[in-house]
Structures are given as C-alpha cells and as structure tokens.
Chains A and B, each alone.
Chain A
Amino acid sequence: MRCRKNKAAPESLSVPREGAVQSALFEFNDGMWPLLSNVKRSSRYAGCEYGIIPPKEDGGSVVRFCLAFPDVYEIGMSYLGFQILYFLLKGLPCGDADRVYCPWTDLEEQMRAQGTPLASLESGRPLRDFDVLGFTLQYELSYSNILTMLDLGEIPLLAADRGESDPLVAAGGVGALAPEPIAPFIDFFCVGEGEELLPEVIARLSETKGLSRSEKLRALSEIEGVYVPSLVECDFCVDGVRFRSAEGSRSALPVRRRIVDSLDDAFFPETLLVPSGGIVHDRVAVELFRGCTRGCRFCQAGMVTRPVRERSVRPLAERIVSLVEKTGWEEVGLLSLASCDYSGIAGLVRELSPVLAAKNVKLSLPSLRMDAFSVNLAAEMESMRRGGITFAPEAGTQRLRDVINKGVSDEDFETSLRTAFSKGWDRVKLYFMMGLPTETEEDLEGIVRLTERAYSIGKGIKKRVQVAVSVAGFVPKPHTPFQWEAQLPVDELRRRGRYVKNRLNEVGRGKISLKYHEPEQTFLEGVFARGDRRLAPVLLAAWRKGARFDGWTETFSFSRWMEAFEEAGIDPHWYVARERSLEEGLPWDHISAGVSKEFLRRERLRSREGALSPDCREDGVCSVCGAACLACGACFSPVEGGDVRA
C-alpha cells in the first residue's frame, strides 16, 4: 500500500482528505462487499449521496426514525417526500433520520444466505435498532416489499407479535387513506402531510421514551391524524365494514387527514440529497402547489390533496435557484398535479428561464394541460423542446371525458397537438385509460380516432412524427366519486387492450406504438386499493410464497397471488367486480381525507348524467364557497350554515 501520513486539515488542498488514504483493509473488511459485488445495479446500495447529515449522538431523548421506501433505490430516491421528511426530521431537536430502500430479489437472497440483516443506507444501523421504521405507501403493489423489509430487518411482521425492544412500524402517504389491507402489520399510520404531523409524532415519542409500546401507541393515538389500528375494531357486517374505537381507547373516529395551511410557511429543505448512481428523476424537484380543483372524478390525488395551496412566486424562484446552486443538479422539475394551473406559472418560468439557462440547467414541467397556453409555455422553455411532449386526454370521446369530468374538448385536443407540432416537437405521447365507468366500444374507438388524428396533424406539419400511446386500466380508488364503481375483470381489460392495439396497428401501420398495463397487475392493485383487513393474511401468504416487487412485470406472478387468495378463502373479485351500494360501509370510512362523502356521492351522480363540474378555484385559490364552490368539504374555513365541513 502506498500510504501517506496525514497531517492537519488542509487550508489549501495540499494533502488529500483522510478518507482517501486509509488502508485497503477498509474495503477488504466490508462484509457487504462480497454481496454487493454479486448483484445487479449495486450502485443502488452504495449510498454515496452528497448532502447527508451525520447521525446525532446517542442520547436519551433522540427518536431515531428510519424512512423506508418499499421499492428500489432509484425509484425511492426520486420521491420528493423523503427529501422533505429527511431534512425535517434531522432539523427536529429530538429527531434523527435515516433511510432504507428495498433490496432487489438478488440481494435479498444473498442476505438471507449470509444471515445479514437489512440496515439503513447511511449509517448502516440494522432496522431493528431504530425507534420508528416509517414506510411510505405510494403504490398498492409495493406492499409485499414492506414485509420483505420488515423480515430482513429482523422485525416481526405482525404488529401483535412485536415486543418492547422492536421498533414501532409506521406508515404514511396516500395509502394511509385506505390502510386496512396492511393494518395488521403497522403499529400506527400517519394520515396526511408529514410536515404537519411528524413534528408532533416525534415530540410525543420523545416524551414517552422508556414507556411501554402500548402506552406509546395510546399517546400517539391522541394526535389528530394518527391512526392506531390496534385501537380500532372493525366489524364485518352485511352492509359493509363498521369501525369503532376499541374499549378504553381515546382516539376519535374518523381520523382526519392533517394538512399544512400554507406551503410558504411549511417546512421545505434548504438543500437536497444528491445521489451519485443515477435515479429515475435525477433533478431538483419542487412543488408549485398542492391540491387540484379540476375535479377529475377518477383521480385520487386530485381529491385527497385538497384544498389547493400555492407557493408564492418570488420565494419559490429564489429557493429554486439556491437549490440548483447547492445541489449542482442539471435539471429542475416543477411538480404539481397540473403545474400549468399554478397561477404564477408564466411569471415563474419567465423569471427562472434566463437564470437557469445561464447555468446550463434545464427546466421541465412534467404535466401539461391540453391547451394552447400550456403548450406555448412549454415551447418557451428551450430545454423542454429537446424531449417529447406528453398529453393525457384520458378518454377517447367527449361523452366519456364528461363522465370523468376531464375538461378537455376535441377542440382543445386539436389546438394542443397543432401547437406542439408547429412549435417543433415531433414526438408525442398520449395517455388514456380503459375500463372507465360507462365505457363502450365507441369510446375505445375514440382512443384510436384521437391517436390517428394526432398523427395526421403531425404529418401535416412535420416530416417525421412519432405518436406513442399508453393505456392504463382504470382502478377505482377510495375517496373519489368512483369509489363505488366496479372494476373491469382481467379478461375484459385484456380484450379491450388488444382491441385498441389491433385497431392502432391497422390505422398506424407501425407508426404508432401502444403500451398497456398488465391486466393482472391492474386487478391486484384494485383489490388492495379498496380492500379491508381480511386481505392482510392473503398478503402474508403471497409474500411467503415469494411475492416480491409485484409492480414489476419481471417479478410479478399472478398465479402465486391467486393461490394465496384461495388458501385464505378470500374471493378477490368481491372487492373489485361489484358495484358497491352507496350505503355500504367502506373499509376507509374511518379515515376522513377532507372531501365529504356527500360531495363524492353528488359527483358520482353528476358523472352518470355526464354533467361537468367546474374548477372551483378562483384566481388560484380555493374559492371557499364562492360561486364556483362545490362544497367538497376540504376547504379551510367552514361557512355559515356549516354545510361545508359537515
């Protein structure tokens, strides 16, 4: 070894930092090295992120929280939520944060063979040694990975089996709004926005350090927005699920989703962690606003993130520039459910474009509305014109778009496509859904017709045109007007997918490409999206049979899942195939997401009439019962008559 002696810390770099010159035994003795050198994409496990903050000293009151993402690193590291929560927890006097992602099956196999427990990414602390392990629930088909991570982390899978020395297992994210299928594995759910909820949770856990598990959970259950499944009983009745607080529990039902009042005042980190190994969305991500008032009836995100809260343009622009400087990232993504709905979007883009261009940093808008304004705006962003452009008409006919309240007309479609092609784009991607309520063959034909139209508009303007179509099977989601709807069975979804594919082949002659999701995965997603606690044993059985990364086609096995359902005596079709009665007790009735059930009922009724509901926002803010208010129940202040918060 060519080792040099290190002296004092350098003023200028005349001596390499100490880490550079340590003995080769440093790597030789890393017990994970033989495992990592034998798996695919080992950069997933390398850490090697810029911006990490060292762990706090062990002290009596520090609550060690491990943020757990139940999918691979490159997906989880693209999730803005963990960037926010990581720095939030680090900044709390009693909090400390670490992260863990799900090892791919090849590493899992090796860890089991070697008896290596799953540890956190940064500090290498085994999961069982944390105070809290907190999962985010972004996708139903990642639930089996939660069990993998618990098991590899040497934490008992079922909450009831955990002892005093085991961590508390928490879960948050959108899945916490319909948490029953995984309730038996989770000690407590955080319902709502972490910026609001986590500081209280950490404070409570710090105060209750040393108390028993059940005392801690009882204390947590008193926090609004915390749901402790072991303190809530559910009864399965003929008219659906009924929830009640367990005896002696002080938690009030329903559990209300917690939100921040103002995004400007909410915590947002001054820097972000920057990965080194390449991730899916490798860029500075900032939210322009939260919530959406377009009112698309299929869209869970649009319903459960209300009310709309916008950031102010000026501090936002300053923060973006500062984040670019601090992270060194080459791209900025302006995120929101519909970024072009941001009232300050034109001003923000105008302000940022020259500053970022001078730094050779790209600006991108991941979601574009179908209108000339949005396309023109994107066209102004030089950096966006290098890629393709994506639109989401969602349905093929005006009738069906009215049913789902997607405010896009055929004219909007024409205008956006025409503008896009004439502004220089030659690659267009179109997103549709199939299996929407009331869908007929004519609607499928509409997908074909619109795609064909997009292609011919393009050919009228550009020489070479690419149109790619992606069709997703519709999954009715909780807390939406379609939560009572039936989901299409697997065979029918496949038939419709093939139909669209064949028709596009006929008219596109290979010029139009189509992708549609695996119908079996769509089916399983639907079962777990609207499932109840009785699905937990099925999940456990499927996991024991080897279910891993069910959202990935290469690892998904439908037959494994069907066996698990059969053994548990559960008919999965019961959860998806039937239209539910409006009176049925739903497995998420104990969680209030903000929008009232009454509003969802009204919207469902209107969908059947094809009646459009307007955007209830005025000048970028919730009109709070102004003329356009639909009384969804999610706005801040109740109004006279008390109707809104009812």
Chain B
Amino acid sequence: MLRIRLTYAKRGRACFIPHIAIPSVFSRSGNRAGISFQLSEGFSPRPRISLGPELPVGVPALSEPLEVRLDSFSAEDLLAWDRALPPGFFFTGACRVNGEPGSAEARSLNKWCEVSSCLLALRREPSGIPLLESFLRELKDRGEVLFFEPADSWSVRCILENPAQRSPGVLVKELQKRGIIEGWPDIFLLREVVGRLGVSEETGAPCVLPLTPPFATGTGRDAEEDVSGERTPVAGCSSSECR
C-alpha cells in the first residue's frame, strides 16, 4: 500500500465545484487513468481519498492537498491522471508519505495543514488595498490573522492559522460585519496554499510551505523520484526539501 500525497489547483469556474464533490472528481479521473485505488471497507467500498481543509465554494486555489491510498503509482500514472482531470483541475505536486504508524510523519493529512495563505481583493474598489490592510491589521491584533502583506498592486496576501477551523470564509464574514462589503460578490479570494508554517528566505516573513515538493522548482527531482517508491525521501518533509 502506498500513501500518496498530491496537491492540486482548482482554477476558473471549477472553484464552484463544492468540497463534497471533490472525492468523486479525483476517483473518476483516477478510474479513467487506471489508478489502482485501495478501497474502503464496508457495504459500498470507495477509493480511499482524504481531503485537506474545506475550501468554500467560489474560491479558486493553487495548491490544495489530498491523499490517496494506492496499490502502485508511477510517474506515468501521475501524468495520465493529471490529463484525466476535468477542466480547471491540475496536479501541482506529488510525493509519497512514509513513516511508521504513530510517527510524526504518519500523522493525518489534516494535522499537516497548519496554515493557509490566500489572496484578498475588493472587486468594486480598485483602491481598496489600504482598506483591506487596516482591516487585516485589526484581525491580526486580535490574533485571527497570522500575517499579511501586499501581494501586488491589487491584492493582499494573508496567512491564517488552523485552516480546518478558519476558512477564508471567516474573512468574508468579518468584512461584512464591518460594512466593507455586502457579501461574496464584492470580494475576491484565492487560496494560494495550505501547508506548514515556514519562513521566507528572502524577507524573513512567515510563509506557507506546500505539502508536496512543487513541480519544477529546479531541485533536480522529478515526479518519478517523488512517487515511485524506495528512493523517495519522506514527503511533506523538512522545509529545505519543500521549498
């Protein structure tokens, strides 16, 4: 049995596919690609798929984690599976999770998800950045937001702890409470990454480390090494590997 961790992007209108439908998105695409899922026990066996913290409907994402139990997995499988995904879904990283039962490495996916970062922008307020910043400062003072910084000219990045409890929807509620927005149509949210807390080498600021070594990071490791067994280093692992 292999425990494989994947990260995926959910882009465009795919952000309207609800969390509850995500397992079947991956099991059906896996079936199309001939992925050898391990099935759950019981009357209606299903592929064993665990998801990371729920992402609210309407929020696109760049790196959401997911774990599957498979009988075997190769680089070809990963490529085939990626191509079998419906429009808007893309794999962005993969690795094998090792670790003896009970060890820190073998802890459940949700325990790995310490923090999340998302981009935030006001749709109807092109000059809304200062407004958002003062809002986020207040939340940071109250301990609701771990960190924020301008991401670019139109959006702010913010890091939230404990994503299983604190989804980006919390920000929408707080903005609504303050009358900054009326509701979802006024705000833009994108979840960049869910993972472990790290420190940016460039700025020393907090950052979120993805739970798989991202593809194409120039580390010289390709997906084959990541997913095909013995040689694979522990996944979602030490921060230097995950950068």
Q: Which residues of A contact B (CB under 8 A)?
A: 1-2, 4, 7, 10-17, 19-22, 24, 26-28, 30, 32-38, 42-43, 45-50, 52, 274, 276-278, 324-330, 359-360, 386
Report whether A22 and B119 are in contact in the complex, using a CB–CB cutoff of 8 Å: no
Q: Given A13-B91, A43-B57, A48-B88, decide whether A4 and B28 contact each other with a Cβ distance below 8 A.
A: no
Smallest Cβ distance from B20 to chain A, in angstroms? 8
B168 adjacent to chain A (CB < 8 Å): no
Q: Given A15-B215, A19-B88, A328-B28, decide whether A1 and B151 contact each other with a Cβ distance below 8 A.
A: yes
Smallest Cβ distance from A269 to chain B, in angstroms? 15
Report whether B87 and A42 are in contact in the complex, using a CB–CB cutoff of 8 Å: no
Report whether B16 and A50 are in contact in the complex, using a CB–CB cutoff of 8 Å: no
Q: Given A16-B92, A326-B32, decide whether A27 and B190 contact each other with a Cβ distance below 8 A.
A: yes
B86 adjacent to chain A (CB < 8 Å): yes
Known A14-B222, A46-B15, A360-B39; 7 more pairs at CB < 8 Å? A12-B79, A12-B223, A20-B91, A28-B121, A28-B154, A278-B20, A328-B32
Report whether B18 and A43 are in contact in the complex, using a CB–CB cutoff of 8 Å: yes
B116 adjacent to chain A (CB < 8 Å): no
Q: Chain B residues with Cβ under 8 A from A49's Cβ?
A: 86-87
Q: Chain A residues with Cβ under 8 A from B186's Cβ?
A: 34
Helix, strand, loop or mixed for chain B's interface? mixed
The chain A residue sitting closest to B221, CB to CB, is A14
Can you offer 27 A-B residue contacts whose CB atoms are under 8 A?
A12-B224, A13-B75, A14-B215, A14-B216, A15-B216, A19-B12, A21-B9, A24-B190, A27-B188, A28-B123, A34-B185, A37-B58, A43-B18, A46-B15, A48-B16, A49-B86, A50-B87, A52-B87, A276-B24, A277-B18, A277-B21, A278-B20, A325-B31, A326-B32, A328-B30, A360-B45, A386-B44
The residue from B119, B123, B183 contacting A24, defined by CB atoms under 8 A apart: B119
Q: Given A13-B82, A28-B121, decide whether A36 and B155 contact each other with a Cβ distance below 8 A.
A: no
Smallest Cβ distance from A489 to chain B, in angstroms? 43
Q: Chain B residues with Cβ under 8 A from A22's Cβ?
A: 11
Q: Chain B residues with Cβ under 8 A from A360's Cβ?
A: 39, 45
Q: Which residues of B contact A (CB under 8 A)?
A: 9, 11-18, 20-21, 24-25, 27-32, 39, 43-45, 57-58, 60, 62, 75-76, 78-79, 82, 84-92, 94, 119, 121, 123, 151-152, 154-155, 183-186, 188, 190, 192-193, 214-216, 222-224
Report whether A36 and B12 are in contact in the complex, using a CB–CB cutoff of 8 Å: no
Report whether B16 and A36 are in contact in the complex, using a CB–CB cutoff of 8 Å: yes
Report whether A24 and B60 are in contact in the complex, using a CB–CB cutoff of 8 Å: yes
Report whether B62 and A276 are in contact in the complex, using a CB–CB cutoff of 8 Å: no
Q: Given A16-B215, A277-B18, decide whether A45 and B13 contact each other with a Cβ distance below 8 A.
A: yes
The residue from A24, A33, A36, A327 contacting B32, defined by CB atoms under 8 A apart: A327
Report whether B16 and A45 are in contact in the complex, using a CB–CB cutoff of 8 Å: yes
Report whether B27 and A330 are in contact in the complex, using a CB–CB cutoff of 8 Å: yes
The chain B residue sitting closest to A324, CB to CB, is B31
Assembled-state Cα–Cα distance A21/B151 (Å): 16
Smallest Cβ distance from A55 to chain B, in angstroms? 14
Assembled-state Cα–Cα distance A24/B154 (Å): 10
The chain B residue sitting closest to A25, CB to CB, is B154
Smallest Cβ distance from A41 to chain B, in angstroms? 9
Smallest Cβ distance from B41 to chain A, in angstroms? 13
Q: Chain A residues with Cβ under 8 A from B183's Cβ?
A: 38
Smallest Cβ distance from A117 to chain B, in angstroms? 17
Smallest Cβ distance from B5 to chain A, in angstroms? 14
The residue from A20, A277, A330 contacting B9, defined by CB atoms under 8 A apart: A20
Q: Chain B residues with Cβ under 8 A from A27's Cβ?
A: 11-12, 15, 60, 188, 190
Report whether B86 and A48 are in contact in the complex, using a CB–CB cutoff of 8 Å: yes
The chain A residue sitting closest to B121, CB to CB, is A28
Smallest Cβ distance from B206 to chain A, in angstroms? 14
Report whether B12 and A274 are in contact in the complex, using a CB–CB cutoff of 8 Å: no
Assembled-state Cα–Cα distance A163/B76 (Å): 54
Residue among B13, B76, B87, B154 facing the most chain A CB atoms (10 A cut-off)? B13
Report whether B14 and A1 are in contact in the complex, using a CB–CB cutoff of 8 Å: no
Assembled-state Cα–Cα distance A42/B43 (Å): 32
Q: Chain A residues with Cβ under 8 A from B14's Cβ?
A: 46, 48, 276
Nearest 5 CB-CB pairings of A with B = A328-B31, A20-B90, A328-B28, A34-B185, A46-B16
The residue from A32, A37, A43 contacting B184, defined by CB atoms under 8 A apart: A37
Assembled-state Cα–Cα distance A641/B32 (Å): 55
The chain A residue sitting closest to B47, CB to CB, is A360
Assembled-state Cα–Cα distance A15/B60 (Å): 19
Q: Chain B residues with Cβ under 8 A from A24's Cβ?
A: 60, 119, 155, 188, 190
Report whether A30 and B25 are in contact in the complex, using a CB–CB cutoff of 8 Å: no
The chain A residue sitting closest to B18, CB to CB, is A43
Q: Chain B residues with Cβ under 8 A from A329's Cβ?
A: 28, 31
Report whether A17 and B27 are in contact in the complex, using a CB–CB cutoff of 8 Å: no
Report whether A328 and B84 are in contact in the complex, using a CB–CB cutoff of 8 Å: yes
The chain B residue sitting closest to A359, CB to CB, is B31
Q: Chain A residues with Cβ under 8 A from B84's Cβ?
A: 50, 328
Assembled-state Cα–Cα distance A274/B25 (Å): 10
Smallest Cβ distance from A48 to chain B, in angstroms? 5
Smallest Cβ distance from B208 to chain A, in angstroms? 10
Report whether A42 and B58 are in contact in the complex, using a CB–CB cutoff of 8 Å: yes
Assembled-state Cα–Cα distance A324/B44 (Å): 18
The chain A residue sitting closest to B90, CB to CB, is A20
The residue from B12, B24, B85 contacting A30, defined by CB atoms under 8 A apart: B12
Smallest Cβ distance from A366 to chain B, in angstroms? 19
Report whether A50 and B78 are in contact in the complex, using a CB–CB cutoff of 8 Å: no
Smallest Cβ distance from B207 to chain A, in angstroms? 9
Report whether B16 and A14 are in contact in the complex, using a CB–CB cutoff of 8 Å: no
The residue from A17, A46, A330 contacting B28, defined by CB atoms under 8 A apart: A330
Assembled-state Cα–Cα distance A469/B57 (Å): 37
